Structure formats: structure tokens, C-alpha cells
Structure 1
Amino acid sequence: MNKNIWSNPLLKSAIKSDDVRMPEMLLGYLIGPFGALLSSGIFTSMLQKYLNEVLGMSNKFLTVLPLVSTIFIIIANLVVGQLIEKTRVLAGKARPWILLSAATLSIASILMFIVPAHGTLKLIWIAVAYNLYYSVAYPIYNTANATMVPVSTRNGQQRSALASLSNIAGLGVMGTGSMVFPILASNILKNDQSRWLMIMIFVAIITALTIILQYKFTRERVTEEDLHAADKGKELSAKTVSMAEQLKAVTSEKWWWIIIIFYMLFQWSGAIKNGAMTQFCEWVVSLDLVGGDWGIAQTILSIAGAVPMAVAVVVVMPLASKIGKAKTTFIFLVIGFLGGVLAGLFPENLVMVGIGVGLKCFGSSPACYLILAMLADVIDHIEYKTGFRTDGLTMSIYSSLMVAATPIGSAILNALLSAFGFDQMLVFGEGVQSQSARMALSVSYIWIETICYGICALLILAFTVEKNLKKEQEEIKKRKGLS
């Protein structure tokens, strides 16, 4: 990449302060990611329904497609991670790729809604479009976006705040996808493919504009440290560190394994839950209180989850600062586990499921808000031990787990539904789903995630990287001649 290009005033960051301030927090880590991830939030909640019921695609196809695509998704994220790690320009190493994704992500997000073909050609089109989004466009954005928290600052409190805002943006789009979009889908879009296309074109425009906003209102202060230190000859350039060396560094660190396994269980179980939500509301929970409208039922459950998570923001950050991120996460996950048990015991009762979901979401809030900050702590610790950073590799793996969560969750969900007799044709009023199919939806929506919360609570107790982190960060700065 030509240095002169990034010297252009249009491509320079609007952020000049050495400290993270409000414009950077709101525009770079909340509004920007919200718009960028909006299509993903809609896909997570509604893509299963769109492909299954609007396009009439079989559960078998929708089981095989995401499983095969996962291979490409993982490869793409690893490649993007290394491209980010080797990028050294005035704009940083992650921000140039964020800017590129303004085009790739917005275009890819509408291709699954064009579908000009029929029969076999339609299947091919969907398979290609699906992979252009999940295996190309999304890895570029998501890996770069995840990398921004570790390279934004070394200030622990500021980094936790940015991680929280970034994840609040992700949760916000999930809320939009599960609260606003179901009502839109059930009352306006219905099974009209052209209407789905028009709304996704609108979403794509928002995506492009907000990603550009994110690029302009972010800054990579840690990357700038590395560039200055490299000029002094005091820093091992990331270009000389092979992927094998990076892999050895991360895989030999126990805390890296703990947080990665924790995140995989947390994210994948959540993807299964989100994918099952619409059909759970259609076929399992009683709709008597909402006049038979599953869209309203889904919105109620989404609000029941969103409100406690919003309230938790006030509690999580002060508590994490006082007792640590890991202990805070453990306490809340126990609450989430108990909420899941409550919902699982009364799956047909909308009120009880709503209370249980509310407790689950409240309990999940530290894991959602602080995961990037905890990963950033591990990256700093590995840098202290090895002398080089592994942002690109770690965040490519993080992004792989996140992006693969939806297709793998979808594949597991469709496999369960097929095994227990769920028939998508019954949505047209030809009958009711079997008791076993409704049970499969209850397991998918409630129990899988609940069990994983219990496992994650035990894992996070062993995550103690924060104990000596400040001393390690000071030592890193001394090595770079920055303190």
C-alpha cells in the first residue's frame, strides 16, 4: 500500500487526541460497527426463515451449505488476519481493511436477495452469495473491527469501554434483527422476495456510510507505538514473524486457550438460540397473549432480553474495574444459567420464558461486553513473553469463531429439526408440528445455550491474566523506549 495514498487528508483520521474521547467512542466503536453489522444481525435472526420459507429451500440443503462454507470461512479469516498483521501504513494495520469493507460488505449483503435463477441455478446462486458474504466480505470487516480494540490504546479502562461499546453495537444489531425485523417480516415483507430485496438495499446503504464513519473516527495508538519503535530499531517488526511463530506463541499460552474455548461455546450456543428463535415463537410458545402473532411474541422476548442487557451496562463496568473482568463474568453467568433453567422448565409459557430470557441475557452481559478487552489482555501478555504482537492471528481466530457461529449453528439447528420431524411446509397452514419437533426447538432455543453458560462459568474462573498485566505493559513500553 502506497504511503502517499494514506497521507491524503480525506483518508487521515479525524481523531487527534492521545486519549480516547467521546467522538471516537460513539462514532468509531458504537455507531460505525452498528451500521456495519446490521445485515449480520438480520441474517442471524431471519436468514433461516427467509431461505427456508420464502425461497423454499430444504432443511437438508441448509444443513450442508453452512457446514461446507465453514471451511472457507475459517481459511478466509486466517488469511485476512495475516494480511492485517503485515499491513503497516499511516492509517494503521486494521483501519485500511475496514475502509475496504465499506464496499465489499454492503454489496455482499444484498446478493442473497436478488436470486434471479430457479431450480439448480437458484441453489448455486445462494451457495455463492452465501460464501461471498460469510467467507469474503464479513471476515474482512469483522477481523479488522475486532483488531481495533487491542490496537486502540493500552489504557485498561478505556480499552474495556471500547470493547463494551463495540459489543453493544453487535448486540444492538441482534436486537434490531430479532425485535424490529420480525414485525416487519410478518406484517409487510411476508413471502414477497422483492420486498426483502428492497429493505436489504436500504440496509446496504447504511452499512457503507457507517463504515466510512468508523474509519474516520478511529485511531490505532498501539500500532503507532510499533511504527515509532521500529524506526528506533527497538521493536521486532511483525513482518519478520511467521505465522508458525505466532501460532506457537498463542497456542502455548493457557489463558489464550481458556478465552478462545470460552468464546466458542458462548458464541456458537448463542447462534443456535438465535437461529431457532423465530420458529420457537411460531411453534412452541403459546401465542394467546399476543393474538396469535408470532412476530409480536418474538419482539416481546427480544425486548425481555435487551432491556436487562442495557441495564447491565451500568453495573458491569464499575464491577469489572473493582473485582476484575473474569470474576464479574463468572457471577453473571451463574445468574444466566439459572434464568435458562427457568425458561426451559416452562417453554410454552410466554411470561415465564420472557423472565428466564431476561435473566439469561442479563447474565451474559459481561461476557458480551468484555470479551474483546479480555482478548486484548491476553495479546499484551503474549507480547510481554515473546516480544511481538499477535493481534491479526488472534482476532482472525476470534472472527472465525464469530462468523462460523451462524452457519454452524444453522447446520446444527437444521439437523435437529430434520431429525425430529420439523416440516417447513406446515407454515402454509397444512397442519401443526409434532411434539418432538417442538421439543427440538425448545432444546435449540433454551437448553443448549444454558448448558454452555454453566461450562463457561467454570472456565472463566481459571482466567487470571489481569493479575500482573499492568507491570507487563510497563515493561513492554520500556523495551520500546516509550517510558
Structure 2
Amino acid sequence: MKKSNSLLKKLPGYIGYGVGAVGLDLSYGMFYSFLSYYLSSVLGLKPAFLLILTPIARIWDGINDPMMGTIVDNTRTKFGKYRPWILIGAFSNAVVLTLLFTSFGMSGTKLYIYIAAMYILWGMTNTMADIPYWSMIPSFTSEAKERSLVATIARTFSGLGQGIITILTPIILPLLSTGMTTEKGYSATGFSRWAMICGIALILFSATCVFNTKETNVVYNEKQKFSFKQIFKTVAHNDQLVVFMIFAMLSNAGWYLTSSTAVYYFTDVLGQPKGQSLFQTIGAVGSVVGLLVIPMLSEKFTMRSIYTISLSMTILGYALMFLFGPVLKIAIALDICYILASVGISSMFVSQTVFLADIVDYGEYKNGSRSESITFSMKGFLQKMAYTIQTVILFGGLGIFGYNEQIKEGVINNATKNAIGTIAFGIPPILIIISMIVFRSKFKIHGELAEKIHSYITEKRAADGDEK
């Protein structure tokens, strides 16, 4: 009873924390779901440009993300360890998001240089907010079920942010667009205005999070200077972090492919750009169901079992989507099958967040050092690596089949349409199957080891409290 009352007291703070994810995912959704289409179909940039830019940006992220993690780990202010950076990062990212989707009438070499700079700056400013935000979860509680609740709340609001972007963007863009538009009514002006609105919302939601969340049970490590040696040591000595990065990167890349290719599929293959809104709305229903079942499943199943079930549902959903999409071309059946995949995907993301919190504890148990922010910086980095995989597959495919040339001619041939359908619904389940194999065979934080880690952390916190 006492435990239930304690949880009820914490719930408003957890909800306040979750609200911040809405804003972060407005920016995240614009970048990962619509930037590719904006650059290729609205600005007319060549696919080879992103194929070169994306790996270069990931090299910088490999330096910047853990660097930011170290900065957060070393932060000690009256305002807390994490919240100052969430606010600073959100404001910076909002400005850069608007600039990224605003071309100022540039063309040629100037436009390519400008987009490259904004692209890299978006990653940097997103990191400033994303790492401290998700790094807060282990500080709330060490209880597995309560962590699952916090992660579920955050992921619920995260899904809301994604839903706003994927559902409303195809509807709102034509309303905001003026001047030269694509055949579907999208213009550079429309994207710029919509990005600005999302940027303002990002700041407001992040401020709500920051001023309604209290940092509790924060563990301050001894201040460390940033060094590649320390970053490498943190990652290399935490074998479960490496395993996590591999299986999460593969599964995330699968979902990113569908998310980013959907606009091409509904616009260029089906000729129904607003059909994407229905598709994403139905997917959002599945996502909500997936988020709701996590707390219920956690009462009877371990996170390992829940994650396996989530991936299995996702794979089955994709198999059916490929059948009713590219093969049979029955749009309504494709939409319905997306519910099944979305239930699995949303459950998958919640589980991944819980796993990362467990990996932080595992690092302390094994190596004596928590390094929350460095560990959680790997989440952002693996997401960007997943986006790199998505970009290489998507733009590699579009380049091979001559998509840009066909857009200029106004006719997309059947081979290109089939390629888009396969990229959206055929390749993702293959990546997710490989991900599940890695997870089942290599991830070992479950059962007896998980119990040992929890006992160790609980006893250590109690001892630290006695010393104080």
C-alpha cells in the first residue's frame, strides 16, 4: 500500500517528464521522416549528396555524442545535472530545425554547403537535449517495474510527438505552402513554416518538462576530462552496451526505413499523399496499444520475453504489410496490418529504454562506474547510425532506379515503384530478424544476473545513504 501511495505521488512528476518527449520528437520526426523527401523532391538535391553527407555526419557524431555525455556527467548546478542542458538543447535545436527546412532561395553549391552545415548542426543540438533527457531515467528509481512505467510514459509522449508529425504533416503542408509546389501541393515555404511551428512547440514542451521535473537520486561521479580513451573504455568494458547497440541499431533502422519511405510510397506509388495520414493514424492506434500493454505484460513476463514478443509481432506485421502493399496493392489491408507492426514497434522502444537503464546499472556492477550520460549518448548515436543505414538503403535505391530524373519527367516507372515498396516493407523485417537473433543469443542482463545487479545497486545506495 505504501509503495502504491509513493508511486501516485511521483506520477505527476513522471508525466511532467514525459511531456518533454513530445517536443523532442516533433524535431526528430521532421528530420527522420520528412527531411529526405524535402531535400530530394522539393529542393531537388541529388541522392549522392546525402549518401556522402550522412556518413561524414556520423563520424562527427561519434565524437560529439560521447563528448556531450561527458559534459552532462560533469555538470553540477543549482538547477540540476540534466535539466539545464535539456532547455539549452531544445532552444538551439528549434532554431536549427527551422533553418534546416528554410533554403532562403539558395541554389547550386551554396545550397549544398548550407544544407550540409545545418544537417550537422541539427545532430549536435539534438544531442544537447536528447542525451540529458533520456539519461534521467535511471535517477528516478532502480525498481524494474517503476522504470518500465517511467519509460512507458516517456515513450507515450514520444509517440504523440511522432504521431503529430506523421499524421498532420501531409495535411498541413499544402495549407502552409505558397509559391512553387510539387504535384502534391508541397512547397519549400510550407516546410519552412511547419518547421518553425514545430520548433516553437519544442521549446514550450521542453520548458514544461524542465520546470515540472525534479531530479532525484542523482549520482555524481568524480569530474572527468573528456578523452577518447575514457569513452572507449566505457563502451569496450561494458559488453552488454555493445550488444545493445548492435541489435537496437538494426531494429531501429528497419522502422526508420518505413517511416522515411512512407511519404514516397503514398505520394509516388499510390498517388495518395493524404493516405499517409490514415496509415499513420492507424499506426498510432497500434502504438498506443503497445504502450498500454507493457505495464500489464511486465506483471507476468520479464523484459526479455516482452522484447521477444514485440519483435515477433513486428516481423509478422511487416510480412503482412509486404503482402498487402507491394504484392497485392490493397491499401486498406496494408493500413490495418500496420496496427500489428506498430504494437510491436512501440513496445520495442519502451523495452530498449529500460534495457539502457539496466545497462547503466550493469556498468556500475561490473566496472564500478555508472557513466549514465555517456551510456545514454550511445542511444542517440545508434539512432543516428540506424538513420545512416536507412539513408544508404533509401537513397542508394532511389539513385540506382533514377528517381530524381523520373520526378523531373513527372512519371515514376513500375520498377522504381516496386523498389520503393520493397524498401518500405520488405527490407525492414529482414533487419529486425537479424536484430532478434543478436538479442536472444548475446544479451544476458536477465534472470539471475539481473537479480544480482539489482541487489548490488540497492545495497550500495543504502550504504551511501548511511554514510551521508
TM, length-normalised to structure 1: 0.85
Distance 1:343 1:217 in 2: 41
Do the aligned partners of residues 381 and 28 (structure 1) sit closer, same or farther apart at CA in structure 2, a change above 3 Å counting?
same
Query: Residues 69 and 374 of structure 2 are in contact (CA less than 8 Å); yes or no, is this contact kept in structure 1?
Result: yes
Residue 175 of structure 1 is matched in structure 2 by 163
Code of the residue aligned with 2:322 in structure 1: it is G
How far apart are residue 113 of structure 1 and its match? 2.9
Q: State the shift of 1:338 in Å.
A: 1.3
Amino acid at match of 1:165: I
Cα distance in 2 for partners of 1:408, 1:459 equals 17
Say yes or no: does 1:417 pair with 2:406.
no
User: Residue 433 of structure 1: CA displacement?
Assistant: 1.8
Q: What is the CA deviation profile of residues 196-254 of structure 1, one whole-angstrom value per residue up to 9, with x for unaligned ones?
A: 3222222221111221211112233231xx35xxxxxxxx6253897635643542344
Partner of 2:103: 115
Counterpart mapping for 1:373-384 below 5 A:
373-384=354-365
Does the 8 Å contact 1:421/1:436 carry over to 2? Answer: no
Quick check: 2:67–2:226 contact (8 Å CA) kept in 1?
A: no
Q: Cα gap change, 1:249/1:61 in structure 2, threshold over 3 Å: closer, same or farther?
A: closer
Of 448, 456, 480 in structure 1, the residue corresponding to residue 435 of structure 2 is: 456
**2:383 matched to which residue of 1?**
402
1:260-339 matched pairs, under 5 angstroms = 260-285=245-270, 292=271, 294-339=272-317
- Cα distance in 2 for partners of 1:406, 1:465 equals 27
Give the Cα–Cα distance (whole angstroms) in 2 for the partners of residues 241 and 424 of structure 1. 47
Do the aligned partners of 2:163 and 2:280 also contact (CA within 8 Å) in 1? yes
**Contact conserved, 1:182 with 1:299, CA < 8 A, in 2?**
yes
Map of 1:465 onto structure 2: 445
Match of 2:44 in 1: 56
Judged with a 3 Å threshold, the aligned counterparts in structure 2 of structure 1 residues 383 and 194 are, in CA distance, closer, same or farther, namely: same
Contact 2:257 2:394 in 1 (8 A): yes
In structure 1, the partner of 2:338 is 357
1:330 CA displacement = 0.3
**2:214 matches 1:219:** yes
1:7-22 correspondence to structure 2 within 5 Å: 21-22=10-11
In the alignment, the residues of structure 2 paired with residue 18 and residue 79 of structure 1 have an alpha-carbon distance, to the nearest angstrom, of 34
Secondary structure (helix, strand or coil) at the match of 1:91 reads coil
- For the pair 1:130 / 2:109, whether they are aligned, the reply is no
The whole-number CA distance in structure 2 between the counterparts of 1:338 and 1:103 is 40
- Residue 400 of structure 1: how far off its partner (Å): 1.0
SS of the residue 1:323 aligns to: coil
Please list every run of at least 4 consecutive aligned residues from structure 1 whose deviation after the TM superposition is greater than 4 angstroms: 17-20, 240-243
Deviation track 1:88-113 (CA, whole Å, cap 9, x = no partner) reads 33333222211211321111111123
What SS does the corresponding residue of 2:289 show, helix, strand or coil? helix
Superposition deviation, residue 20 in structure 1? 6.3
CA deviation after TM superposition for structure 1 residue 259, in Å = 1.8
Does residue 151 of structure 2 align to residue 163 of structure 1?
yes
Which stretch of the first structure deviates more once superposed, 331-340 or 236-245?
Answer: 236-245
Distance 2:460 2:446 in 1: 15
Deviation at 1:155, TM superposition (A): 2.9
Moved more, 97-106 or 249-258: 249-258
TM-score, scaled to structure 2: 0.88
Task: Return the match for 1:480 from 454, 458, 464.
Answer: 464
Shift of 1:300: 1.7
Deviations 1:61-115 (A, max 9, x none): 2322222222222221121011112223333322221121132111111112332
Q: Residue type matched to 2:335 in 1?
A: G
Deviation at 1:187, TM superposition (A): 5.4
Task: Name the % identity.
Answer: 25
The 1-side partners of 2:429 and 2:379 are apart by 22
Q: Counterpart of 2:237?
A: 252
In the alignment, the residues of structure 1 paired with residue 309 and residue 199 of structure 2 have an alpha-carbon distance, to the nearest angstrom, of 39
**Cα displacement (A) at 1:419:** 1.1
Code of the residue aligned with 2:118 in structure 1: it is: A
Aligned to 2:27: 39
Structure 1: segments with no counterpart, 5+ residues = 1-16, 228-235, 286-291
Contact 1:154-1:222 within 8 A present in 2 as well: no
Alpha-carbon displacement from aligned partner over 1:154-184 (angstroms, at most 9, x marks no partner): 2322221111222223322222221111122
In the TM superposition, residue 137 of structure 1 has moved relative to its aligned partner by 0.6
Structure 1 CA distance for aligned equivalents of residues 35 and 365 of structure 2: 43
Q: How many residues align?
A: 446
Question: For structure 2, which runs of at least 5 residues remain unmatched after alignment?
Answer: 1-5, 178-184
Farther-moved stretch of structure 1 (74-83 vs 400-409): 400-409
Question: Residue 480 of structure 1 aligns to a residue in which SS?
Answer: helix
2:241–2:359 Cα contact (<8 Å) kept = yes
The separation in 1 between residues aligned to 2:65 and 2:225, in whole angstroms, is 20
> Whole-Å Cα distance in 2 between the matches of residues 92 and 166 of structure 1?
20
Q: CA RMSD in A?
A: 2.4
Specify the alignment match of 1:340 in structure 2.
318
Letter in 2 for 1:212: A
Q: Which amino acid aligns with 2:236?
A: T
Give me the whole-angstrom Cα distance separating, in 2, the residues matched to 1:419 and 1:196.
27
Corresponding position of 2:3: none
